[in-house]
């Protein structure tokens, strides 16, 4: 059982052999029908409608149904009521309505994005099956971006301004969307970086802005999500106030004066101890004082003399 989009050659043949008018009609109809779009989000269950509904008088046994993607790969095919082929990537994710032939895909993946086509053949005359319809339907799979997350990193600070890097990121969305930044409701030009493993996988996005904040501003980051926006705001504060530097000095003065006072007190204490030691050296050495006392006591000879003189007198 080859999983080839077998219905197409028959279809093409029929078209080429068919009436020009019908082809024209088909083309114009086809153009209108190609605009049929089914939207779904990653992980959801989606049903792609087919162009034919089997009447209650008949059953799937009388039909051959091909659900194919991008006219090149068969997603699912039924013939005479039996599944005749299935696609590896869609395995266990697809089902088909037995009456309205709707193709159900669950859970939907981003790779499922693209044009699909249901081709229905009636097998009443098995040699010459009739193509009843082949209708394209485009599946548009999206994924919602997360609520933006804003971070602000101060890189330099001065009295006049605060330089900062503001980053806003959001992840897990598809397809690429619009991420915008605004300062007090005025939109800004910034650097936007998209990251994804491939062009058909979820995107992460980061917006980056270098700012010189001279006054408090509100930064808002918004990401468009399938028609509506998710946004986050952050108040960017000018962290260094010019008045602020005036406040610290008193503290420094207090600290400095405390130090001076402490040093002064220490000096006094040391001086007092030093003096005390010197005084002690005069009064607290008993032998010295005795010697001096003795010396002093030796003076009396003078007085003695005097006395002797006086006595001699």
| Residues in touch with ligand NAG (CB under 6 A) | 47, 49, 70, 72, 91-92, 97, 100, 102, 114-115, 149, 151, 160-161, 163, 171, 184-185, 189-191, 195-197, 204, 208-210, 212, 218
Minimum CB distance to ligand NAG, residue 218 (Å): 5
Minimum CB distance to ligand NAG, residue 243 (Å): 17
Minimum CB distance to ligand NAG, residue 168 (Å): 10
Length of the chain: 313
Minimum CB distance to ligand NAG, residue 245 (Å): 15
For tokens 């068919």, the residue is 18
- Burial pattern 91-114, b for ≥16 Cβ within 10 A else e, equals eebbebeeeebbbebeebbbebbe
If the CB atoms of residues 30 and 115 are measured against ligand NAG, the closer one turns out to be 115
Minimum CB distance to ligand NAG, residue 274 (Å): 55
Minimum CB distance to ligand NAG, residue 137 (Å): 10
Please check whether residue 41 is in contact with residue 109, taking contact to mean a CB–CB distance below 8 angstroms.
no
Minimum CB distance to ligand NAG, residue 226 (Å): 19
If the CB atoms of residues 6 and 190 are measured against ligand NAG, the closer one turns out to be 190
Q: Residue 121 and residue 134: Cα distance in Å, rounded?
A: 9
């Amino acid at each position: 059982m080859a999983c080839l989009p077998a219905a197409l050659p028959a279809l093409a043949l029929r078209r080429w052999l068919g009436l020009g008018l019908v082809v024209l009609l088909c083309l114009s109809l086809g153009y209108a029908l190609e605009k049929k779009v089914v939207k779904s989000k990653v992980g959801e269950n989606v049903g792609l409608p087919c162009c034919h509904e089997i009447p209650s008088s008949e059953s799937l046994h009388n039909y051959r149904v091909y659900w194919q993607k991008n006219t090149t790969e068969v997603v699912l095919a039924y013939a005479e009521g039996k599944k005749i082929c299935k696609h590896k990537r869609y395995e266990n994710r697809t089902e088909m309505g037995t009456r309205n032939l709707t193709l159900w895909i669950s859970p939907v993946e981003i790779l499922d994005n693209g044009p699909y086509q249901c081709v229905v053949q009636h097998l009443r005359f098995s040699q010459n099956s009739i193509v009843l319809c082949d209708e394209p339907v485009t599946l548009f799979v999206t994924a919602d971006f997360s609520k933006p997350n804003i971070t602000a990193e101060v890189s330099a600070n001065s009295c006049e301004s605060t330089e900062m890097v503001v980053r806003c990121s959001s992840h897990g969305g598809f397809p690429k969307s619009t991420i915008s930044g605004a300062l007090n409701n005025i939109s800004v030009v910034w650097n936007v970086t998209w990251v994804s493993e491939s062009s058909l996988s979820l995107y992460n996005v980061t917006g980056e802005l270098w700012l010189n904040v001279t006054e408090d501003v509100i930064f808002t980051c918004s990401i468009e999500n399938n028609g509506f926006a998710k946004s986050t705001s952050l108040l960017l504060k000018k962290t260094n106030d010019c008045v602020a530097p005036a406040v610290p000095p008193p503290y420094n003065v207090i600290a400095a004066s405390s130090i001076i006072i402490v040093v002064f007190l220490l000096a006094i204490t040391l001086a007092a101890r030093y003096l005390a030691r010197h005084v002690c050296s005069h009064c607290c050495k008993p032998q010295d004082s005795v010697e001096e006392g003795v010396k002093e006591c030796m003076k009396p000879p003078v007085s003695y003399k005097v006395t002797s003189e006086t006595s001699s007198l």
